[in-house]
C-alpha cells in the first residue's frame, strides 16, 4: 500500500510541478526574484493541493541552490539546499524524486524540477508530501493505527522544534532516546511499544510483537522507510 501511494504521489507531484513551471505569472516573478508575487500566486494553490492531495511543501529555488521562497514556510529562506534530490537534478538537468529529511526534520517525498524558460535555467521547483499524509491514508484504507518517527541521528533538536512549531509534530524531542515521533493516529501509545521500538534496529523490519493499552492488546510491526540515500 505504501509503495502504491508513493507511485501515485510521484505522478501528482510531477504533474503539478510541470503545471507551475508553465504559469506565466510564476515565470515572470521567478525571473525578477519577486518573492511577494510568488507567494501571492502560489499560496492559494498550495492550500488546495494540501487539502485535496496532501501536497504540503512547495519551494522556489535559485540556480545557486539557495531557497528563494518556501511557500509553506515563507519566513525561512536564503539557505543553500544540500539534499541529494536537488543535487541530482542540478547534475543531470532532469527531474529527481526521492524521500528525504528536510531542515525542519520533516520526512518528505520530494520532486525537484529544473525550471527552464526558452532553454535557459531560471531555477528549480520542488514539491513534496510529508510521511504523515501516507500514514493517514494507510489508516483510511486499512483501519490500522499508524505512528511515524524520525531517527535522531539524522536530524537535531533545533530542526525538530522548528518542524513541531510549523507543522505540528505530535511528539517532543526529549520523549525518547533514539527517535522522535512525527505523527500518530492513536491518542496514547500502547504500553511496552516504546521499549520495543528502542530495542529494534532502525534499518530492519521487526517481527510482529504485542503491546497493551489498558484492556486492549495490540499487534504491531516496525517498518523502516529508507530515504533517497538508503539511510534508515
Q: Among the listed ranges 22-31, 47-56, 122-131, 190-199, which one has the minimum average pLDDT value?
A: 190-199
**What pLDDT, on the 0 to 100 scale, is given for residue 140?**
92
Residue pair 39/54 in contact (Cβ under 8 Å)? The answer is no
55-69, 94-108, 188-202 — which one is most confidently predicted on average?
A: 55-69
Q: How far apart are CA 215 and CA 178, in angstroms?
A: 28
Strands (E), the chain: 57-61, 67-70, 96-101, 107-117, 120-130, 147-151, 179-184, 209-213, 216-220
- By three-state DSSP, how is residue 151 classified? strand
Average pLDDT, the chain: 92
Cα-Cα-Cα-Cα dihedral sign, residues 161, 163, 166, 169: negative
pLDDT for 216 beyond 90: no
pLDDT in tens, 165-195: 877 888 999 998 889 999 999 888 887 888 8
Q: Tell me how far apart the alpha carbons of residues 193 and 112 are, in angstroms, rounded to a whole number.
A: 36
What average pLDDT score do residues 51-75 get?
A: 95
Residue 92 scores a pLDDT above 90: yes
Q: Which pLDDT value is given to residue 22?
A: 97
Amino acid at each position: 500500500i505504501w509503495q502504491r501511494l508513493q507511485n501515485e504521489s510521484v505522478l501528482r507531484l510531477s504533474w503539478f510541478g510541470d503545471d507551475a513551471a508553465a504559469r506565466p505569472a510564476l515565470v515572470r516573478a521567478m525571473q525578477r526574484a519577486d518573492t511577494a508575487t510568488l507567494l501571492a500566486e502560489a499560496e492559494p494553490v498550495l492550500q488546495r493541493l494540501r487539502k485535496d492531495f496532501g501536497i504540503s511543501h512547495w519551494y522556489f529555488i535559485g540556480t545557486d541552490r539557495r531557497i528563494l521562497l518556501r511557500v509553506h514556510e515563507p519566513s525561512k529562506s536564503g539557505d543553500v539546499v544540500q539534499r541529494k534530490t536537488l543535487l541530482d537534478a542540478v547534475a543531470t538537468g532532469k527531474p529527481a524524486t526521492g524521500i528525504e529529511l528536510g531542515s525542519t526534520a520533516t520526512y518528505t517525498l520530494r520532486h525537484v524540477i529544473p525550471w527552464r524558460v526558452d532553454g535557459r535555467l531560471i531555477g528549480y521547483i520542488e514539491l513534496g508530501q510529508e510521511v504523515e499524509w501516507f500514514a493517514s491514508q494507510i489508516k483510511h484504507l486499512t483501519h490500522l493505527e499508524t505512528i511515524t518517527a524520525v531517527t535522531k541521528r539524522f536530524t537535531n533538536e533545533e530542526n525538530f522544534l522548528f518542524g513541531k512549531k510549523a507543522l505540528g509534530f505530535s511528539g517532543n524531542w526529549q520523549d525518547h532516546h533514539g527517535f522522535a515521533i512525527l505523527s500518530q493516529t492513536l491518542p496514547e501509545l500502547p504500553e511496552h511499544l516504546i521499549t520495543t521500538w528502542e530495542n529494534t534496529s532502525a534499518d530492519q523490519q521487526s517481527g510482529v510483537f504485542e503491546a497493551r493499552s489498558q484492556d486492549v492488546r495490540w499487534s504491531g510491526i516496525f517498518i523502516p522507510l529508507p530515504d533517497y540515500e538508503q539511510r534508515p
